[in-house]
Structure 1
Amino acid sequence: SSYDSIYSLSNSMLDRFCLQILPKINNKIKSFNLEISSMKRILLSANYPNLFELGIFNIEKEAALCLVTRKDNFT
């Protein structure tokens, strides 16, 4: 399955994705499957008015608990 191999994006790929690609497609994104190390940067790089599903990969139990209990995660 496609979930068997989850890899982090390199910094240059993440830069291009956040600065060049996302601004062109952010209104069309309905679902994201993100790796935890790049999640915050990707989510803060644009508004996603049609986003209704978020999958998070490579996340530790403590980080998952923090995401759902802290109010200041994305400020």
Structure 2
Amino acid sequence: MNQPMNSAQKRAYNQQLHAARRQQEAAGRPGGLAELWWDQARRIAREQAEHGDGGAAWNDLALTLSNFCSRYSK
């Protein structure tokens, strides 16, 4: 017999379903994969900041984006 999920388990399960659905949708669009990575990067930076990293993850993301823009800007 399956046990009912608690709220944390249900949230994690729903997040996994949502992520899988977004991956399928993104696969068919130009830039879709980049959108998924962008969303994940922001989530990670936000979570790190909430856990007291002093903004290091945001700074690292900003540097990565700056390097990308420098490389591909004309």
TM range (shorter): 0.3 to 0.5
**TM-score with structure 2 setting the length:** 0.33
**TM-score with structure 1 setting the length:** 0.32
| Bigger helix share | 2
| Bigger strand share | 1
Rg: which structure is higher? 2
Q: Which has the higher contact order (CA 8 A, sep 6+)?
A: 1
